[in-house]
Structure 1
Amino acid sequence: MTYDPATANPLFGNPLHSRADVEKGLRDLFNPLLPYFSQGGARVRLDGAGAHFDRAAADLEGFARPLWGLTPLAAGGGDFEHWELYRQGLANGTDPDHPEYWGQVNSTDQRMVELAAIGFTMRMVPHLVWEPLPQTAKDNLAAYLKHARQFDYADNNWKFFRILVDLGLEECGVDFDRALTEKYLEELDGFYLGDGWYRDGNVRRIDHYIPFAMHFYGLIYAKLARGDEKRVAAYQERATLFAKDIQHWFDEDGGTLAFGRSLTYRFACGGFWGALAFADLEALPWGKIKGHFLRHLRWWAEKPIAHGNGVLSIGYGYPNLFMSESYNSAGSPYWALKAFLPLALPADHPFWTAREEAAGFDAKPVPLKHPGMIMQHSPGNVVALSSGQQNWQMRHGTEKYAKFAYSSRYGFSVEVDERSYHQGAFDGALALSDDGRHYRVRETNETVQVAENCLFARWKPWSDVTVETWLVPAHHWHIRVHRITTPRALHGTEGGFAIARADLNADTYVDAPGRGEARSASDVSAILDLGGQREGRAFRALPNTNLVASKTIVPQLRGEIPAGTTVLTTAAMALPAGEEADGALANPPHAPDLAALEALFAREGIDVSAILVPERF
Structure 2
Amino acid sequence: MSAPAGRLPPEDPDLSPYTGWTRAHWVAVAENLLLSVRPYASPRHARIDLPGPASSSGAASDGLEGFARTFLLAGFLVAGHGGEDPHGFLDWYRRGLAAGTDPDSAERWPRPDELGQAKVEAASVALVLMLTRPWLWDRMRRQERDRVLEWMSAVVGESYPPINWVWFQVMAEEFLRSAGGRWSRADIDAGLAVHAGLARADGWYSDGQERSYDYYCGWALHFYPLVWASLAAERPRAELVDGWRRDLSRFLDDYIGLIGADGSPVLQGRSLIYRMAAAAPLWGGAWSGATALAPGRIRRAASGILRHFHDNGALDGGLLSLGWHRAWPAMRQTYSGGGSPYWAAKGFFGLVLPPDHPVWTAREEPLPAEDGGLQRTVRAPGWIIGTDPRDGIARIVNHGTDHAREGDVLTDSPLYARLGYSSATVPPLVGGTLDAPLDNSVAVLDSSGAATHRTGFTALGVFHEGAVATAGSRWRAHWIDPSQDTGRDHGSGRPGTARPGPTLEVWSAVRGPDEVRLVRVGDEPAPDGRGWRLRVGGWPVLREHGPATSVEALTDHPGLVSGTEHLGDAGPLEGETAVPWVCADVAPGEVMACLVRLGAEAAAAPRPRVRIEAGGAVLTWPDGVEARVALHG
TM value normalised by structure 2: 0.83
Give the alignment of 1:471-486 within 5 angstroms. 471-485=508-522, 486=524
Q: Deviations over 1:259-299 (max 9, x none)?
A: 11111111111111111222243432222222222222222
Quote the offset at 1:311 in angstroms. 1.9
Give the alignment of 1:236-247 within 5 angstroms. 236-247=245-256
Aligned residue type for 1:35 = P
Match of 2:15 in 1: none
Give the alignment of 1:187-206 within 5 angstroms. 187-206=194-213
Aligned residue type for 2:56 = H
Verify the 8 A CA contact 2:153 2:181 in the aligned structure 1: no
Quote the offset at 1:81 in angstroms. 2.1
Aligned residue type for 2:322 = I
Question: C-alpha separation between the residues in 1 aligned to 2:38 and 2:611?
Answer: 58
SS at match of 2:599: strand
Give the alignment of 1:229-240 within 5 angstroms. 229-230=237-238, 231-240=240-249
Name whichever structure is richer in helix by fraction.
1
Q: Deviations over 1:353-390 (max 9, x none)?
A: 11111124534531111110111211311111110422
Specify which of 63, 74, 86 is matched with residue 67 of structure 2.
63
| Residue 201 to residue 237, structure 1, CA distance change in 2 (3 Å) | same
Give the alignment of 1:95-134 within 5 angstroms. 95-106=102-113, 109-134=116-141
Quote the offset at 1:144 in angstroms. 1.0
Match of 1:615 in 2: none
Question: C-alpha separation between the residues in 2 aligned to 1:276 and 1:483?
Answer: 42
Question: C-alpha separation between the residues in 1 aligned to 2:346 and 2:105?
Answer: 30
Match of 1:30 in 2: 34
**Is 1:588 matched up with 2:607?**
yes
Quote the offset at 1:316 in angstroms. 1.9
Give the alignment of 1:288-437 within 5 angstroms. 288-307=297-316, 309-360=317-368, 361-363=371-373, 365-378=375-388, 379-391=391-403, 398-417=413-432, 426-436=438-448
Aligned residue type for 1:228 = P
| Residue 475 to residue 280, structure 1, CA distance change in 2 (3 Å) | closer
Question: C-alpha separation between the residues in 1 aligned to 2:75 and 2:611?
Answer: 54
Verify the 8 A CA contact 1:121 1:129 in the aligned structure 2: no
Gaps of 5+ in 2: 1-5, 12-18, 479-499, 619-626
Gaps of 5+ in 1: 1-8, 503-519, 606-617
Specify which of 78, 82, 89 is matched with residue 82 of structure 1.
89
Quote the offset at 1:73 in angstroms. 0.6
| Residue 479 to residue 58, structure 1, CA distance change in 2 (3 Å) | same
Verify the 8 A CA contact 1:390 1:444 in the aligned structure 2: yes
Question: C-alpha separation between the residues in 2 aligned to 1:598 and 1:157?
Answer: 41
| Residue 396 to residue 546, structure 1, CA distance change in 2 (3 Å) | farther
Question: C-alpha separation between the residues in 2 aligned to 1:573 and 1:180?
Answer: 49
Verify the 8 A CA contact 2:309 2:315 in the aligned structure 1: no
SS at match of 2:308: helix
Question: C-alpha separation between the residues in 2 aligned to 1:87 and 1:501?
Answer: 49
Verify the 8 A CA contact 1:402 1:443 in the aligned structure 2: yes
Verify the 8 A CA contact 1:16 1:298 in the aligned structure 2: no
Verify the 8 A CA contact 1:488 1:563 in the aligned structure 2: no
Verify the 8 A CA contact 1:112 1:162 in the aligned structure 2: yes
| Residue 107 to residue 479, structure 1, CA distance change in 2 (3 Å) | farther
Question: C-alpha separation between the residues in 1 aligned to 2:162 and 2:550?
Answer: 42
Verify the 8 A CA contact 1:482 1:568 in the aligned structure 2: yes
| Residue 603 to residue 10, structure 1, CA distance change in 2 (3 Å) | farther
Quote the offset at 1:210 in angstroms. 0.8
Match of 1:285 in 2: 294
Aligned residue type for 1:427 = D
Quote the offset at 1:223 in angstroms. 3.0
Structure number with higher relative contact order (C-alpha < 8 Å, ≥ 6 residues apart) = 1
Structure 1, 470-479 or 115-124: larger mean CA deviation: 470-479
Structure 1, 341-350 or 132-141: larger mean CA deviation: 132-141
Verify the 8 A CA contact 1:456 1:470 in the aligned structure 2: yes
Aligned residue type for 2:596 = A
Match of 1:455 in 2: 471
Specify which of 496, 500, 514 is matched with residue 538 of structure 2.
496
Question: C-alpha separation between the residues in 2 aligned to 1:482 and 1:386?
Answer: 15
Structure 1, 297-306 or 487-496: larger mean CA deviation: 487-496
Question: C-alpha separation between the residues in 1 aligned to 2:374 and 2:89?
Answer: 49
Verify the 8 A CA contact 1:96 1:103 in the aligned structure 2: no
Q: Percent identity?
A: 26
Aligned residue type for 1:370 = A
Verify the 8 A CA contact 2:173 2:184 in the aligned structure 1: no
Question: C-alpha separation between the residues in 1 aligned to 2:567 and 2:338?
Answer: 27
Match of 2:549 in 1: 525
**Number of residue pairs matched?**
568
Verify the 8 A CA contact 1:451 1:604 in the aligned structure 2: no
**Is 1:554 matched up with 2:562?**
no
Quote the offset at 1:137 in angstroms. 1.9
Question: C-alpha separation between the residues in 2 aligned to 1:30 and 1:156?
Answer: 30
Give the alignment of 1:217-232 within 5 angstroms. 217-226=224-233, 227-230=235-238, 231-232=240-241
| Residue 396 to residue 537, structure 1, CA distance change in 2 (3 Å) | same
Structure 1, 287-296 or 360-369: larger mean CA deviation: 360-369
Structure 1, 523-532 or 76-85: larger mean CA deviation: 76-85
